[in-house]
Structure 1
Amino acid sequence: MAQDLITIGKILKTRGIRGELKVLPLTDFLERFNELKEVILTSPDGNDVKYKIDSVRYQKGFVLLSLEGCKTIDEAKRLINWSVRIPKELVRELTSNHYYWSDLIGMTVYSDAGFLVGEIIDVFSTGSNDVFVVKGKKKEFLIPATLEVVKDVDVKNKRMTIHIIKGLIGDDEM
């Protein structure tokens, strides 16, 4: 599909025998699932398929989705590990110092002293804060997304400035 998509969940497994899917939400706005009429599921190899949503339920922090055309356990099993995505124009505005991971990936990272650190290639959550995986010239670095470390994020120019605290990156590693 020739549109920008944002991932809001990942299908973990089936639930029951009627094709219901257990989804790990990858959004701070869990209620967004109630507002959706359809989603785009993306397979691990990159194929997109649009599905209409029949119902949404919540259970212990997970989303239980029923989709039109997915009514048996066998139909649901083939969707395990697929991503749940929506068009970028449906995303919500975020508050200050909050960013969509998709806006951060590909961003160039510099130290506050002006040195090139590398490029953000992935982002993951630890529970307490997000972590940026930054590919440098020699190796990858794990940069915590904390106010102590991240000093500026310029989404428009795809640039981040960080303060390198002791032990974060060795002097000879950039």
Structure 2
Amino acid sequence: MASPGRSVRVGRIVGVYGVQGWVKLESWTEPRMRIFDYQPWQLTASGIDQEVRNVEGRQQGKGIVARLPGIDDREGAAALMGTEITVSRELLPAPAPGEYYWTDLEGLEVVTIDDVPLGRVSHLFATGANDVMVVRSADKERLIPFVQGSYVRTVDIPAGRMVVDWDPEF
């Protein structure tokens, strides 16, 4: 189960569109337009957090654009470039069995099938072939493919633990 009140990054503002305050978005939701279903947004930039509700958006060419309440000109939109968009984890639908949100995996203790501790999941990143976990301990960082059945044997979110088939020396 996800931690109550935990935020999940779902996108960021990457540019301006037009002169009426619209912004271009990079969305990490599937499909991309679903980012508008998860509101309110928490906008974070330069240590400043701001909650925004009633964001409207649309597909524009190959990308998506949004209009945020209170932003009515190009200068206001430009000031938001680089802003991270997060939402409360509770707004997201429950993942299907055997699927996980990366944010729910971050922080899990990782041990081998022989119960050798490897560290904790720092973060994940996508590659062309599969997602990769960055597992950090006090003295080592490991990159472990997140491939269930091959390398990832069990994931127990409530217990905060993941078992992997991985050589602790590697």
Shift of 1:4: 2.6
1:117, 1:37 → 2: CA distance? 37
How big is the alpha-carbon RMSD for the aligned residues of Structure 1 and Structure 2? 2.3
| Alignment correspondent of 1:136 | 137
SS in 1 for 2:75: helix
Look up the match of 2:162.
160
- Partners of 1:44 and 1:72 lie apart in 2 by 21
Q: Specify the code of the residue in structure 1 equivalent to 2:19.
A: I
How far, CA to CA, are the matches of 1:51 and 1:132 in structure 2? 32
Between the aligned partners of 2:128 and 2:46, the Cα distance in structure 1 is: 25
Query: What corresponds to 1:94 in structure 2?
Result: 95
Using structure 1 for the length normalisation, give the TM-score: 0.83
Number of equivalent positions: 166
Which 10-residue stretch deviates more, 86-95 or 28-37? 28-37
* Paired residues of 1:122 and 1:132 also in contact (CA < 8 A): yes
5+ unaligned residues in a row in structure 1: which ranges? none
Instruction: Tell me the residue number matched to 2:12.
Output: 10
* CA distance, structure 2, for counterparts of residue 14 and residue 132 of structure 1: 33
Unmatched tracts of structure 2, length 5 or more: none
Does the residue aligned with 1:81 lie in a helix, a strand or coil? coil
Q: How far is 1:19 from its partner?
A: 2.0
Structure 1 residue 15 displacement after superposition: 2.2
Deviations 1:120-145 (A, max 9, x none): 11111124322111112322111111
Contact residue 8 and residue 26 of structure 1 kept, 8 A? yes
Question: TM-score w.r.t. structure 2 length?
Answer: 0.85
- Which is worse superposed, 101-110 or 5-14? 5-14
Q: SS state of the match for residue 53, structure 1?
A: coil
| 1:41-52 → structure 2 map (5 Å cutoff) | 41-45=43-47, 47-52=48-53
1:108 and 1:115 map into 2 onto residues whose CA distance is 11
Partner letter of residue 100 of structure 2? Y
Match for residue 59 of structure 2?
Answer: 58
Structure 2: distance between partners of 1:43 and 1:114: 41
| Residue 60 to residue 142, structure 1, CA distance change in 2 (3 Å) | farther
Alignment match, 1:27: 29
Say whether 1:40 aligns with 2:42. yes
1:106 corresponding residue in structure 2 = 107
